[in-house]
């Protein structure tokens, strides 16, 4: 699934791009602004807006001669639209809940890469950095089960592969000194999920 644009899972149509923009907006927007944000032609977007207004899913109001549009959040379908638009937020919530419930807690866990930035697609991995705490072997049965279960759940939730970068806590300083690109991505993009915050983690190394 394209976590950044989850509507594409149903149909790569202009309608769904327009609804994605409206669901993520708290202020009325003009057709031109919606077209720009959706990356679609103004003419095509206007046809969609007119149809959605006819169906009651979108409200239209006037500001002078300019027509402004908002999602009608009282509509029977509005909750479904908002739920899809919030797929990335829901993924982060589920990751935090899942990793936070581990029997053997991670020293650190974060989401990074394209999903964290919001520019991935259906082929993108869901990139996760997991720091294994001191005293826990990579082959520890409980730890291994947690990692495998997390990968399975990410696949079930999104259809995407979980790209899990598992690093032992004892190796963090060496890993960073060697300068692997993954840690630069983490420094730039990470969304904390569990354990020590990214800023503290990378400050210490």
Helix H, strand E, coil C: the string for 139-165 is CCHHHHHHHHHHHHHHHHHHCCCEEEE
Helix, strand, or coil (residue 171): helix
Q: Where are the alpha helices (DSSP H) in the chain?
A: 14-23, 31-38, 42-54, 78-85, 87-100, 114-117, 141-158, 172-177, 181-189, 198-204
Q: Do 93 and 76 share a structural domain?
A: no
Q: Which domain holds residue 50?
A: 6-84
Q: Is the pLDDT of residue 153 over 90?
A: yes
Does residue 183 fall inside a structural domain? yes
Does residue 1 fall inside a structural domain? no
Q: Do 109 and 78 share a structural domain?
A: no
User: Partners of 112 in the beta sheet?
Assistant: 127
Q: Look at 16 and 57; give whichever has higher pLDDT.
A: 57
Give the pLDDT band (50/70/90) at residue 123: confident
Number of domains in the chain: 2
């Amino acid at each position: 699934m394209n976590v950044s644009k989850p509507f594409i899972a149903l149909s790569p149509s202009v309608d769904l791009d327009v609804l994605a923009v409206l669901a993520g907006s708290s202020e009325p927007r003009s057709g031109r602004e919606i077209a720009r944000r959706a990356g679609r032609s103004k003419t095509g977007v206007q046809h969609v807006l007119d149809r959605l207004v006819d169906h009651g899913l979108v409200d239209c109001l006037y500001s002078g001669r300019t027509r402004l549009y908002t999602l009608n959040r009282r509509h029977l379908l509005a909750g479904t639209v908002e739920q899809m638009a919030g797929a990335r937020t829901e993924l982060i919530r589920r990751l935090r809940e899942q990793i936070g419930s581990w029997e053997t807690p991670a020293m650190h866990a974060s989401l990074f890469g394209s999903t964290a930035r919001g520019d991935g697609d259906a082929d993108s991995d869901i990139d996760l950095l997991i720091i294994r705490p001191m005293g826990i072997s990579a082959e520890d049965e409980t730890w291994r089960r947690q990692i495998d279960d997390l990968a399975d759940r990410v696949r079930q939730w999104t259809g995407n592969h979980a790209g899990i970068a598992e690093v032992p806590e004892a190796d963090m300083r060496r890993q960073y000194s060697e300068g692997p690109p993954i840690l630069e991505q983490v420094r730039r993009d990470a969304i904390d999920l569990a354990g020590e915050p990214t800023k503290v983690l990378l400050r210490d190394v």
